[in-house]
A = this chain, B = another copy of it.
Amino acid sequence: MASPRKLNCPLPDALWAALEARTRNTGETLDQAVVRCLGEALDLSRHSIFQISTSAALVKGVYQGAATVAEVKRHGDFGLGTFENLDGEGMQLDGNCFQAKGDGSVTQPSDATPVPFWVTTRFKADRTETLSEVRSWADLCDRLTKLRTSDNLVAAIRLDGVLDFVHVRTACKSAPGTDLVTAASRQKEFKFEKVQGTLLGFFTPTYARTINVPGYHLHLLTEDRKHGGHVLEVRAARLQALLHLTSDLHLVLPENEEFLKANLTQDPAAALAKAEGGAATNS
């Protein structure tokens, strides 16, 4: 057997000091500590969700960038989010980020683009199933619930196939401080038939509703990368469902004045249901 490859990398003094402090605290050798730290940071040890800001902040209209697309990409290759001033819906698939705007266009934002809210993970399917004859959004949610093992873990969800019908909305750029319900009332809606694409997103437990959007939250990205948005309604003859179950959430809170001063004490459940559910019954 070949001997393992060796890392040969210069480290700043502060990092050496922190590594050495770690080995003193834990009794690990330096090599063990390096392997464990790299494994943690690269999410090898657990299936992790990395999240920027909270749903409670979004509901209160805290839309200023807390991180950038580059930071999102460092922590995952799959996920969803939104952009500064709620300028559209964000989709992240196979490592690339996309922005679906209120005018119906989809672009790839640069790495420097600020994002006020994003949820990302390194997607590896724990379960793969085929869903036949998906009749509605409610039906899809019921079918996905049967594939999950617990309502207390976050699940990342990817659905690929031909969508017989899909109804999406995209948020439109709003003035800073506009609350989410008001902003969502000006959203644009789009309907597509017979389109190849991916629905991507998350199931979030009810208890985490002040942190992330509770229940199922999926965005569309069409295979030609021309259309996308927040999914309100869907029908499909056959979808391939990939589920990635996680037990590890890394939450980064914004440090801007807007977030620090916001009143986030209210339960955002009702506002989230209104803003995120949108015209779901109107399909």
Inter-chain contacts of A265 with B (CB < 8 A): 151, 206-207
For residue A95, CB closer than 8 A to chain B, the reply is yes
For residue A254, CB closer than 8 A to chain B, the reply is yes
Q: Name the distance in Å between A85's Cβ and chain B's nearest Cβ.
A: 20
List residues of A (179-225) whose CB comes within 8 Å of B's CBs.
Answer: 205-211
Given the known inter-chain contacts A5-B11, A73-B26, A152-B262, please indicate yes or no for A207 contacting B56, CB distance below 8 A. yes
Smallest CB-CB separation from A264: which chain B residue? B207
Q: Name the distance in Å between A115's Cβ and chain B's nearest Cβ.
A: 16
CB distance A208 to B207 under 8 Å?
no
Inter-chain contacts of A35 with B (CB < 8 A): 9, 11-12, 15
CA distance A244 to B149 in the complex (A): 37
Q: Mark A224-265, 1 if CB is under 8 A from B, else 0.
A: 000000000000000000000001111111110001111011
Inter-chain contacts of A95 with B (CB < 8 A): 25
Q: Please tell me which stretch of A40-48, A125-133, A163-171 contacts chain B, meaning at least 4 of its Cβ atoms lie within 8 angstroms of it.
A: A40-48
For residue A282, CB closer than 8 A to chain B, the reply is no
The residue from B19, B57, B247, B252 contacting A38, defined by CB atoms under 8 A apart: B19
CA distance A220 to B17 in the complex (A): 30
Q: Name the distance in Å between A71's Cβ and chain B's nearest Cβ.
A: 10
